[in-house]
Amino acid sequence: MATIAVLGTMDSKGEEHGFVAALIRQRGHQTLVIDVGTLAPPTLAPDITREQVAIAGGIDLKSLAARRDRGESVAAMSDAAPLLLARLVAEKKIAGVISLGGGGGTAIATAAMRALPIGFPKVMVSTLASGNTAQYVGVKDIVMFPSIVDVSGLNHISRQILTRAAGAICGMVETTMPSAEDKPIIAASMFGNTTACVQHAQKLLENAGYEVLVFHATGTGGRTMESLIESGLVAGVLDITTTEWADELVGGILSAGPTRLEAAARTSTPAIIVPGCLDMVNFGPRETVPVKFADRNFYQHNPQVTLMRTTPEECEQLGKVIAKKLNASTGPVTVLLPRQAISIISALGQKFHDPAADSALFDSLSAHLRRDIHIIEMDCAINDTAFAEACVKALLANLAKAKK
């Protein structure tokens, strides 16, 4: 028997949450009803009151409710609920969480769910589940159920949806994970232009007893990798493909945000950093590229993806940015520079071959990097076997150093 949190605004959705809680209890589990409402009295008596949620977030609930500003209330509870729910999970008081809601309820509940570890059961029944859910799911494994009809009372359709959702959260909680040999995890970043390097390194690391999780550096991939590193589940990082910083700096469509490269530095996770594919900024079809870039050097990767070569000036800035991120490292980190090419298409004779831009990147990174951070320069291309082997050797050395 497990305890499942039923979280939501009990002032407007109490009946629906009560229905789901009853279904969960019929399956033999306990429920912990958490009220995150603010504007009207709860219609379902909670186990954890809105006052307790507010206290967890340092919120003056009385003043908040008096202002009767729905937007402000949603924002406040979206800050407080994650703190409370994360504490309940850390204390092992709940084994799963389910919520139901429209716009406000979805914002609050998914903010709380995003604060929980990957693998922890999370179900959100939402009026917004059939559209773009990226802002609600983030990089976590939140299961979004389309509510089909509005979450507004019980009817023939909503009973079916809520019953299935209750069954889903119970099934997730009841499921026993298959046993597997636990190997230390290495997180690696990859693009099509660095595939050969990463795949060769992956084989070597697996032979050394590690499990390698590869993330495609498409913005979402980088954010997901950073989240996993932050969670403490990763033993080491093989960040071959830091290309998302080119999109963040220049304005491409595959940015992973301004915190990319911070997780390993902050958590002391041993890391290898390579300026892989910083020669390119990603856009959609050619006609979608901003007019201001009209005279730049482009490569049509496919009909949907247009790559733009970074300039020496942009590469100099990228070197500074990456150095600043790595200078915050509290654990062992090594930078490897493939002097001949940082992607397939930046090699001699290829469309993005630009020695001046590459030199600006390498020189800037070296000049701004903390003196005690080791740099290994190699006269080869990023996808050469020797380079992949050097990355693995350096990462194994950093992992050994971290154990001492």
pLDDT in tens, the chain (404 residues): 899 999 999 998 999 999 999 999 999 999 999 999 998 999 999 999 999 999 999 999 999 999 999 999 999 999 999 999 999 999 999 999 999 999 999 999 999 999 998 889 999 999 999 888 989 999 899 999 999 999 989 999 999 999 999 999 999 999 987 766 789 999 999 999 999 999 999 999 999 999 999 999 999 999 999 999 998 889 999 999 999 999 999 999 999 999 999 999 999 999 999 999 999 999 999 999 999 999 999 999 999 999 999 999 999 999 999 999 999 999 999 999 999 999 999 999 999 999 999 999 999 999 999 999 999 999 999 999 999 999 999 999 999 999 87
Q: Judge if 80 and 197 occupy the same domain.
A: no
**Cα dist. 122→125, 160, 168, 182, 402 in Å?**
10, 19, 10, 24, 34
**How much is the pLDDT for 231?**
85
**How much is the pLDDT for 243?**
98
Q: Judge if 195 and 316 occupy the same domain.
A: yes
Is 136 a domain residue?
yes
Is 180 a domain residue?
no
Q: Judge if 87 and 53 occupy the same domain.
A: yes
Q: Judge if 61 and 129 occupy the same domain.
A: yes
Q: Judge if 359 and 218 occupy the same domain.
A: yes
Q: Judge if 124 and 194 occupy the same domain.
A: no
Please state, as a whole number, how many other Cβ atoms lie within 10 Å of the Cβ of residue 56.
19
**Range(s) of the domain holding residue 394:** 185-403
**How much is the pLDDT for 182?**
82
Q: Which of 140, 174, 208 is the last residue of a domain?
A: 174
Is 96 a domain residue?
yes
Domain holding 366: CATH number?
A: 3.40.50.12030
Q: How many domains does the chain have?
A: 2
Is 129 a domain residue?
yes
Q: Which of 118, 143, 174 is the last residue of a domain?
A: 174
Is 43 a domain residue?
yes
Q: Which residues contact 311 (CB under 8 A, 6 or more apart)?
A: 296, 357
* Residue in 180, 105, 189, 117 with CA at minimum distance from that of residue 147: 105
Q: How far apart are CA 386 and CA 381, in angstroms?
A: 9
Domain holding 76: CATH number?
A: 3.40.50.12020
Please state, as a whole number, how many other Cβ atoms lie within 10 Å of the Cβ of residue 348.
9
Residue 290, strand partner residues: none
DSSP 8-state symbol, 228: H
Is 166 a domain residue?
yes
Q: Judge if 131 and 210 occupy the same domain.
A: no
| Helix (H) or strand (E) segment spanning residue 85 | helix 70-90
Q: Judge if 147 and 271 occupy the same domain.
A: no
* Residue in 122, 101, 127, 126 with CA at minimum distance from that of residue 112: 122
Q: Judge if 120 and 260 occupy the same domain.
A: no
**How much is the pLDDT for 177?**
79
Is 293 a domain residue?
yes
Residue 4, strand partner residues: 31, 96
Q: Which of 127, 153, 174 is the last residue of a domain?
A: 174
Is 179 a domain residue?
no
- Are residues 42 and 15 in contact, defined by beta-carbon separation less than 8 angstroms? no
Please list, residue by residue across 327-344, b when 16 or more beta carbons sit within 10 angstroms of its beta carbon and e when fewer do: eebebbbbbbbbbbbbbb
Q: Judge if 329 and 378 occupy the same domain.
A: yes
**How much is the pLDDT for 180?**
61
Q: Judge if 124 and 9 occupy the same domain.
A: yes
Task: Write down the pTM of the prediction.
Answer: 0.79
Q: How far apart are CA 346 and CA 339, in angstroms?
A: 11
* Residue in 311, 275, 305, 276 with CA at minimum distance from that of residue 292: 311
Q: Judge if 156 and 278 occupy the same domain.
A: no
